[in-house]
């Protein structure tokens, strides 16, 4: 496995040029496993953001990309996927050093990213549009067109994958883009943009600006030259983006936070339920929007289930993501570590009972990184903040229920509605309960798998719109009605 031999010097990509911030400002990018500097990233501001928007606008209006035959756009997307595969080892390692996640999880992300480009390359060349039999002499049809300049803003938890979930459909649809990665994890994004350059994407089609959300992100959401903003991140930021986007009635898609319920009935296959509960909350250190962060357990199995769950959770190997035996890495940053630890304190003060973990790990050199033990709280009630608010770390809160109706009520009892899981061997009950979930992504007898083919997004305050699948492409397209008169002569409605 190659290791990083020097600090990376990141750049922004504007109109086909690699540039630093005009004022020379840089941001240190730290490996959250050991506090080492891995990269220096430019801190872009308003000027760079406006240049990127201008480049995307001019390129879109020129038609150079939007009017390219879809087979040709698809060739670019496939070439990008091939390059991602070629460089998978390097990019996965960088993702792990930047974000903290275990290497095998980064490897899955890179493979999924390549698959996503291929998926949209296939989709964009499929037959499209509709025709309607309307009254003679008219012929009515519908065609779909790109929205225009799209601002794509992503968080730090799956830096590469969240980027690709937006970039692939946006480019496939014929849009030009200004992309903003999280200021915490910009490394894999730069590798991706190097690939976009290598495959010869025309200048100005894809632009990348690095910098703080409240400056760069806000300008992208506000600018009258941007037609659409597609955002993934926290619910509060989503609210700000909605407001900022109101000026020119920009189209918006928001993929926001969650506090997703994972319901286990007494008749479930318990080993499967335990296994999936662990994946649901500890995969990616619990920094997953769709994490099953609330476990709802039927009362009759509660104690035994918790005993076995804790036993398994305590065996999860926490360590540096780059070490092959690691099963859970550090949290992404010191700031986020402090947030998660503060929620653990809140849980204790609220009277929830800690049955697993609850501490920062500091021995054996771990003190240089941001490691937290897999943590489980029981004896909670629905009013507690740890039950209602997104912690976004390896912290599971357990809720108890007696009846199916109570499980449904508890499950739907937060402001969020991103995901939900149900474990039962009664097929009818599984479907019955899932149909009652006010959530956009659901699983029966599993928790977590995602597919490029299936729409991703939430109900309630978990967002607006959907990523991935055909729905994900629709988000980046306008629909145009075309009505053609096949008998060109005056209609004669007005008599004189
Ligand atoms: P965040 O909202 O703080 O930041 C996300 C992005 O928005 C970053 O690039 C940031 O710079 C930018 N930003 C911040 N303030 C902005 C503003 N005022 N205007 C425009 N852009 C701004 O989120 P985060 O802490 O990076 O990520 C964690 C959050 O993301 C969690 O809430 C998680 O649930 C959510 N998330 C959701 C999904 C999903 O698909 N629903 C996926 C991943 C993460």
pLDDT in tens, 397-409: 999 999 999 999 9
- Report CA(333)–ligand 1 centroid distance (Å): 14
Mean pLDDT over 432-447 rounds to 98
Checking if the pLDDT of 79 tops 90, the result is: yes
Running DSSP on this structure, what letter comes out for residue 152?
E
For domain 261-444, say whether CATH 3.10.20.310 is its number: no
255 is catalytic: yes
> SS3 sequence, 318-356?
ECCCCCCCCCECCCCCHHHHHHHHHHHHHHHHHCCEEEE
The minimum-distance atom of ligand 1 relative to the CA of 236 is 2
pLDDT, residue 369, reads 98
pLDDT, residue 3, reads 58
330 lines ligand 1 (CB under 6 A): no
The enclosing H or E element of 294 equals strand 294-298
- Please report, for the chain, the start and end positions of each structural domain, with discontinuous segments joined by +: 8-256+462-481, 261-444
Give the strand order in the sheet containing 37-42. 8-9, 37-42, 26-30
Take atom 30 of ligand 1 and give the residue whose Cα is closest.
233
Checking if the pLDDT of 225 tops 60, the result is: yes
Mean pLDDT over 95-114 rounds to 98
Exposed e or buried b for every residue in 404-416, given b needs 16+ CB within 10 A? beebbebbbbbeb
Crossing angle, helix 70-86 and helix 187-198, to 10 degrees? 130
Q: Ligand 1: which of 233, 242, 455 to mutate, judged by most atoms within 8 Å of the beta carbon?
A: 233
Residue 269 pLDDT class (50, 70, 90 cuts): very high
| This model's pTM is above 0.75 | yes
Q: Is 261-444 in the same CATH topology as 8-256+462-481?
A: no
CATH of domain 8-256+462-481: 3.40.605.10
Mean pLDDT over 307-334 rounds to 98
- d(CA 229, CA 165) in angstroms, rounded, equals 14
Residue 1 pLDDT class (50, 70, 90 cuts): very low
- d(CA 265, CA 402) in angstroms, rounded, equals 9
Q: What percent of the chain shows pLDDT beyond 70?
A: 99
pLDDT, residue 5, reads 76
pLDDT, residue 452, reads 97
289 is catalytic: yes
Which of 105, 219, 255, 475 is catalytic? The answer is 255
pLDDT, residue 120, reads 98
């Amino acid at each position: 496995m190659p290791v990083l031999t020097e600090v990376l010097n990141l750049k922004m990509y504007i109109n086909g040029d690699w540039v630093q911030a005009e004022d020379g400002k840089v941001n240190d990018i730290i490996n959250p496993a050991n506090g080492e500097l891995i990269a220096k990233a430019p801190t872009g501001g308003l000027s760079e953001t406006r240049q990127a928007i201008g480049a995307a606008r001019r390129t879109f209006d020129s038609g150079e990309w939007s009017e390219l035959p879809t087979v040709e756009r698809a060739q670019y997307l496939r070439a990008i996927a091939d390059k991602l595969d070629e460089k998978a080892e390097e990019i996965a390692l960088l993702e792990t050093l930047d974000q903290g996640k275990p290497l095998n999880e980064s490897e899955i992300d890179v493979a999924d990213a390549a698959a996503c480009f291929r998926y949209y390359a296939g989709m964009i060349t499929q037959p499209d549009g509709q025709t309607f039999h309307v009254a003679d002499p008219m012929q009515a049809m519908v065609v779909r067109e790109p929205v225009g300049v799209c601002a794509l803003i992503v968080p730090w938890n799956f830096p590469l994958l969240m980027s690709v979930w937006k970039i692939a459909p946006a480019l496939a649809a014929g849009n030009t883009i200004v992309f903003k990665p999280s200021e915490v994890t910009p490394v894999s994004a730069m590798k991706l943009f190097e690939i976009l350059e290598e495959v010869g994407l025309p200048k100005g089609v894809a632009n990348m600006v690095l910098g703080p959300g409240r400056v760069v992100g806000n300008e992208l959401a506000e600018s009258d030259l941007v037609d659409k903003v597609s955002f993934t991140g926290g619910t509060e930021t989503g609210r700000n983006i909605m407001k900022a986007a109101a000026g020119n009635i920009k189209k918006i898609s928001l993929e926001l936070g969650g506090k997703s319920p994972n319901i286990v009935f007494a008749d479930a296959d318990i080993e499967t339920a335990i296994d999936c509960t662990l994946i649901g909350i500890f995969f990616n250190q619990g920094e997953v929007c769709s994490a099953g962060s609330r476990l709802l357990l039927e009362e009759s199995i509660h104690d035994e289930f918790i005993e076995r769950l804790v036993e398994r959770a305590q065996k999860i190997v926490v360590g540096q993501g780059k070490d092959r035996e690691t099963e859970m890495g550090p949290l992404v940053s010191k700031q986020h570590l402090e947030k998660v630890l503060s929620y653990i304190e809140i849980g204790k003060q609220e009277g929830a009972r800690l049955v697993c973990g609850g501490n920062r790990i500091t021995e054996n050199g771990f003190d240089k990184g941001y490691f937290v033990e897999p943590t489980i709280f029981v004896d909670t009630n629905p009013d507690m903040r740890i039950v209602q608010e997104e912690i976004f770390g390896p912290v599971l809160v357990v809720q108890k229920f007696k009846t199916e109706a109570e499980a449904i009520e508890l499950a739907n009892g937060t402001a969020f509605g991103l995901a939900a899981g149900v474990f039962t061997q009664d097929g009818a009950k599984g479907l019955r309960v899932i149909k009652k979930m006010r959530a956009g992504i659901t699983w029966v007898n599993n928790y977590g798998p995602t597919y490029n083919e299936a729409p991703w997004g939430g109900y309630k305050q978990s967002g607006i719109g959907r990523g991935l699948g055909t729905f994900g492409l629709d988000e980046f397209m306008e629909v145009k009605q075309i009505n053609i008169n096949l008998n060109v002569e005056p209609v004669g409605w007005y008599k004189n």
